[in-house]
Structure 1
Amino acid sequence: MREQNTPPLAEPASGGLADSVYDTAELTPQLVQLARRTDGGDRWRPVTAARFRSEVLGLAKGLLARGVRFGDRVALMSRTRYEWTLFDYALWSIGAIPVPIYPTAAAEQVRWILAETGAVACVVEDEDHAMTIGAVCDALPELTGIWQLDHGCVRSLTEDGAGIPESLVHRQRLAVTPETIATVIYTSGTTGRPKGCLLSHGNFAAQADNVLAGWKSVLFEADGQPATLLFLPLAHVYGRMLQVAALRGGIRLAHLAELRAEALLPALASYRPTVLFAVPYVFERLYDATRIAAEQAGRGELFEQAMAVAVDWATGNERRALGHGSGPGATVRMRHLAYDRLVYQRIRALFGGRVRHVMCGGSALSRELGLFFAGAGMTVYEGYGLTETTAAIIANPADSPKFGTVGRPIPGAEVAIADDGEVWVRGGGVFAGYLNHPRCTTEALHDGWLATGDLGRLDEDGYLTIVGRKKEVIVTSSGKNLAPAALEERVRAHPLVSHCLVVGDNRPYIAALITLDPRALSHWQQMHRRAAMDEWAMLTDEELHLEIQRAVAAANTSVSRAESIRAFRLLPGDFTVEHGLLTPSLKLRRKAIAEHFAADIEALYTP
């Protein structure tokens, strides 16, 4: 196996994750650790280290008063909000184990998680979530409490704990070690029933501390205290790692419950973060929105020219950082300066105006889009990780990102490529195993190495590129193998395309199911002076099909004839989490899509 490693930069942690809250409050009580939005407006109320410690301690006492003990599991079912972080650290303060549940989870998924973890209580956000729990609680004898955030459960729990001595909390907290399980996070379940990953306090500390050390120049570049806005779901390991890293590193943290552009853009404008942690979806949608706005204002050609210059400028800088060139030429530098005033400043303003660096993961970001944002003044550091690795274990280095790759091992981690192309990783973030699934644990872990199930390759500079999932490899009836993810990503690069699912297993050729982005489709109709089409009319529109055919043809240039998409079918509507066709982290549920659209797939192979 070919291997690549990076030496650790952080010392191994001692104790548990909650210790940082109490230590920071003791050393710098007036440090602003968090910010809370006031009534959904434009103002953010600071929360000092001393105040946060006090709130965590009060809630921890309340949990003890309600019978939660060391090692108990308590489920959290909510959107991203301040109270989730408060509950996490209160539970960690008494050695209890939070179990995140996506707020969009179906009742059967909730029942499965609560039953398998033996949760003794569940924190929910609102009445709908409470009803979901209520529908399954008869089959959960160990579940003794349901606490609702919107009904003031934090206040009532804190009041209940008023008579509990603080020393009892500290006795529990000091019993926590790095090996103690911190949380059970369930995988997204793209290939079957989700499994609970046992992640320790040491897993989170190792990842957070090494990322803080390795990307110090990026995270702490701005004058004053760095700040980030957390809009990723805290039910996902990526959001949880960001929360831990921010509180351990002194990065001011604020929460946003919605990822919709209508909610995200005003929050970014008012909070003005210095660094962001995001998923490619955010960049794809903001890029599309900016392009559409430019075209509607009659500046489409200006935007296209600015994009080309941004890509050229970033490519020159990338080559220089990797030792392959001298940087952008004089003409590109002059044009880049001009477009910075005309275009790039406006794009940065969408993110609040202060963001210059973004850590990105969760799925693949196209190389061209990464180069564009870097050229616009916001470098995107793409990374790679799994729930089983406590978020990113591979990431692009702070001083030399290579766009289109997921980078090199973070400090303290290793990566290897097995003979069959599978990516194996090792490091302090690799989990202890799956809850109640010893066979799956044995299959995944090998002497400290985790077999990720992903296919990848290391280039000459030691940067990793993910090719696809082993279980998703398509084998046509002629014996041709294809990992579909890269081809799907290239089709999705077209502005009109929302999702693409490549099919062809045991079929004579490769084909695809394609959905369209409603906003982009509406813009396309306006630009082409077309009447509005309903979902079914678009399926027979020849000009629209020709436009998507161009996207497919462009994607096919990257593969051989045998691997190319020979036929495609536009679908009415889109793949959504609500319909069970996407995971909560927006990955395709391939089996569910194939079953749902079996007739459409069959039609692709019918003469």
Structure 2
Amino acid sequence: MPPDTAPLSLARGLLQQADSDAVMVRVLAADGGEGTAHSYRDLLRTALALAADLTDLARTLGRPARVGLLAENSPEWVAADLAALFAGAVEIPVPTAFTAQQAASLLESADLCLTDTAGSAALTRWTAATPDPVLPAGCPTTALDLPALIARPPAPHPPVPGDDAVVKVIHTSGTTSAPKGVQIRRHGLDALLTSLRTRTRPAIFERYLSIVPLSLLIEQVAGLYMPFLAGGSVSFLPPGTALVGTAADAAPRMLTLLRQARPTALVVPPTVAGLFLALCDQQPAESVTERHRRIFGHDGPVFIACGGAPVPPEILQRLHAHGLTVHEGYGLSENSSVVSWNFPGEVRFGTVGRPLDHVHAELADDGELLIRSTSLFAGYTREDPSSVVVDDQGRLHTGDLAEIDDDGYLRITGRKKNLVITAGGRNVAPEWVEARYRELGFIREAAVIADGLDDVHGLFVIDAALDPDTARSRITEFGRRKLSGIERAAVVHLMSEDDPAYATCFTVTGRPRRDVIRHHVLTRTPAAAPQQTKEKA
């Protein structure tokens, strides 16, 4: 960014909108009706009232309060998140899809737990599932009651916290069942948002549609803070609607709500990019404007961002030819989310864009991506062998293998720890192989398992409407044509996209949970045997 760019303060920028009657949050209606809308004035008033309570709690504790947040994507989530920000509290958002053990691990230091209706239901479910307490001793729960908070006398604007304290603890998977907490710094989050705002136009975030859980930091950044700082709005799916990545059929059902939401921006996992292509292919002769009206309900453009597992370049190019450009990016919670992004007008397919202005990227001798950044995290709540490290030069060792071209664009080629060696001593980089298989439009997700095995196994999540024998035949033929004998899946396992195990085997952003998948494909019951085949020599 230009050297004279002043770093923004997220809290101060939000408070500047406190007197606006513009829509801040919309909740779509399941029947296609008007839904509900909440203004900046009302939601920020709610957040300030709740912030006053958190400030009182901090005085009692003699330190910033640690606040668990159990909620689905909702106005209540937004109010609680902003209240924690204004009060200088440490927010601990917990996915309601977690197990009781995972939730207890993340909440072990919480002083208070805020819940909406879905969060209360999750807490009840967890409590019934385990004899062990989910919340630490002495940690009360408070239901988020927006009407009651709005009805309070207006709370004064608090002093904007200025110290570089930890403001969030974000879950990330590790090598154990207990998720690590990534500690996010206030100044780190501000540095990230400053960089993003120098590279994007405010109009992009006029109407953001949120389809993945807000417990993901990237969704908080792209779905809340970027729209709110621009005076835009976020739309949430109807209450009770499964978010993408939390249920097997969530992504196809989300597509039916696009025209109602009329989004100008959204972040999608890779599987949704494939669904967009299928929608485009339904009417290839229509104009770009007609296509935007049919899919998104307005003339466009729409900023579609994608991260997590890579999208095959062929799919990206075909979408671009249809007038829908998907902007791939790369990030990790340890950098407060985004490291690099393909921004409008600067897209290079097959890459994850160039690093943000506050990030410096370089490669180690073995090809590992190292980054220096002013938005790095403040450490983990617990360590395990999957933890990344910051060396004595301030470089974060990402664990990702990458290439950097002459123009500074990054290409992620795989994970160091995922490079597998078959029982025959052959090396396989699974991410590249998986991306090639996803070129087949009916494949929603793919995962290759080979470490220590005689054969390469592939798990393929396929379109529920496709005949399994047809899918198996096309996968096998594609492997023979496009991949070497070392890389292609010799043993093909199929899973329908409506199989509940889909959400267990893959993350919301499409990354394979490789240990879970390995167990799944190697311990299949006899009843599942028809869904797997081994390629004949």
TM-score in terms of structure 2 length = 0.85
2:505 is paired with a residue of what secondary structure?
Answer: coil
Tell me the CA shift for residue 62 of structure 1: 4.3
Tell me the CA shift for residue 36 of structure 1: 4.0
Alignment-derived partner of residue 33 in structure 1: 24
1:399 is paired with a residue of what secondary structure?
Answer: coil
2:328 is paired with a residue of what secondary structure?
Answer: strand
Residue of structure 2 aligned with 1:97, choices 90, 106, 114: 90
Identical amino acids, percent of aligned pairs: 26
Alignment-derived partner of residue 241 in structure 1: 221
**Maintained 8 Å contact 1:7/1:412:** no
Q: 1:100 to 1:9 in 2, by over 3 A?
A: farther
**Maintained 8 Å contact 1:190/1:590:** no
Mean alpha-carbon deviation: is it higher for 48-57 or for 118-127? 118-127
**Maintained 8 Å contact 1:477/1:508:** yes
Matches within 5 A, 1:320-469: 339-341=285-287, 345-346=290-291, 349-353=294-298, 354-437=300-383, 443-469=389-415
Alignment-derived partner of residue 565 in structure 1: 488
**Maintained 8 Å contact 1:180/1:201:** yes
Tell me the CA shift for residue 104 of structure 1: 0.9
Which ranges in structure 1 are unaligned for 5 or more consecutive residues?
1-5, 295-302, 307-338, 526-537
1:60 is paired with a residue of what secondary structure?
Answer: helix
Q: 1:363 to 1:42 in 2, by over 3 A?
A: farther
Whose RCO is larger (CA < 8 A, sep 6+)? Answer: 1
Alignment-derived partner of residue 442 in structure 2: 496
1:228 is paired with a residue of what secondary structure?
Answer: strand
Alignment-derived partner of residue 11 in structure 1: 6
**Maintained 8 Å contact 2:259/2:297:** yes
2:107 is paired with a residue of what secondary structure?
Answer: helix
Residue of structure 2 aligned with 1:128, choices 98, 121, 126: 121
The yes-or-no answer on 1:587 pairing with 2:507 is: no
2:448 is paired with a residue of what secondary structure?
Answer: strand
1:25 is paired with a residue of what secondary structure?
Answer: coil
In 1, Cα distance between the equivalents of 2:507 and 2:337? 17
**Maintained 8 Å contact 1:75/1:121:** yes
Tell me the CA shift for residue 372 of structure 1: 2.1
1:385 is paired with a residue of what secondary structure?
Answer: strand
TM-score in terms of structure 1 length = 0.76
- 1:333-373 CA distances to partner (integer Å, 9 max, x unpaired)? xxxxxx343x7723552122223332222221221222222
Q: 1:545 to 1:50 in 2, by over 3 A?
A: closer
In 1, Cα distance between the equivalents of 2:163 and 2:296? 36
**Maintained 8 Å contact 1:62/1:158:** no
**Maintained 8 Å contact 1:340/1:376:** no
Alignment-derived partner of residue 183 in structure 2: 198
In structure 1, give the amino acid aligned to 2:226. A
> Aligned pair count?
514
**Maintained 8 Å contact 2:170/2:181:** yes
In 2, Cα distance between the equivalents of 1:148 and 1:263? 29
Alignment-derived partner of residue 260 in structure 2: 270
Tell me the CA shift for residue 88 of structure 1: 0.3
Alignment-derived partner of residue 182 in structure 1: 167
Give the greater-gyration-radius structure (CA). 1
Residue of structure 2 aligned with 1:144, choices 139, 148, 151: 139
In 2, Cα distance between the equivalents of 1:392 and 1:380? 16
Which ranges in structure 2 are unaligned for 5 or more consecutive residues?
245-249
Alignment-derived partner of residue 86 in structure 1: 79
Alignment-derived partner of residue 193 in structure 2: 208
**Maintained 8 Å contact 2:361/2:369:** yes
**Maintained 8 Å contact 2:331/2:339:** yes
**Maintained 8 Å contact 1:444/1:452:** no
Tell me the CA shift for residue 511 of structure 1: 3.6
In 2, Cα distance between the equivalents of 1:457 and 1:367? 16
In structure 2, give the amino acid aligned to 1:236. L
- 1:123-163 CA distances to partner (integer Å, 9 max, x unpaired)? 243353131353467364445322345xxx3345666xx48
Q: 1:564 to 1:503 in 2, by over 3 A?
A: same
Tell me the CA shift for residue 39 of structure 1: 7.3
Tell me the CA shift for residue 488 of structure 1: 1.0
In 2, Cα distance between the equivalents of 1:419 and 1:348? 49
Alignment-derived partner of residue 253 in structure 1: 234
In structure 1, give the amino acid aligned to 2:521. F
1:55 is paired with a residue of what secondary structure?
Answer: helix
In 2, Cα distance between the equivalents of 1:40 and 1:74? 35
Alignment-derived partner of residue 278 in structure 2: 288
The CA RMSD measured in Å over matched residues stands at 3.3
Q: 1:103 to 1:391 in 2, by over 3 A?
A: same
Tell me the CA shift for residue 208 of structure 1: 1.6
- 1:3-57 CA distances to partner (integer Å, 9 max, x unpaired)? xxx766842235xx3332222326xx34443334467643255544333321211
1:514 is paired with a residue of what secondary structure?
Answer: strand
In 2, Cα distance between the equivalents of 1:487 and 1:142? 48
Tell me the CA shift for residue 264 of structure 1: 2.8
1:184 is paired with a residue of what secondary structure?
Answer: strand
Tell me the CA shift for residue 501 of structure 1: 2.2
Q: 1:145 to 1:133 in 2, by over 3 A?
A: farther
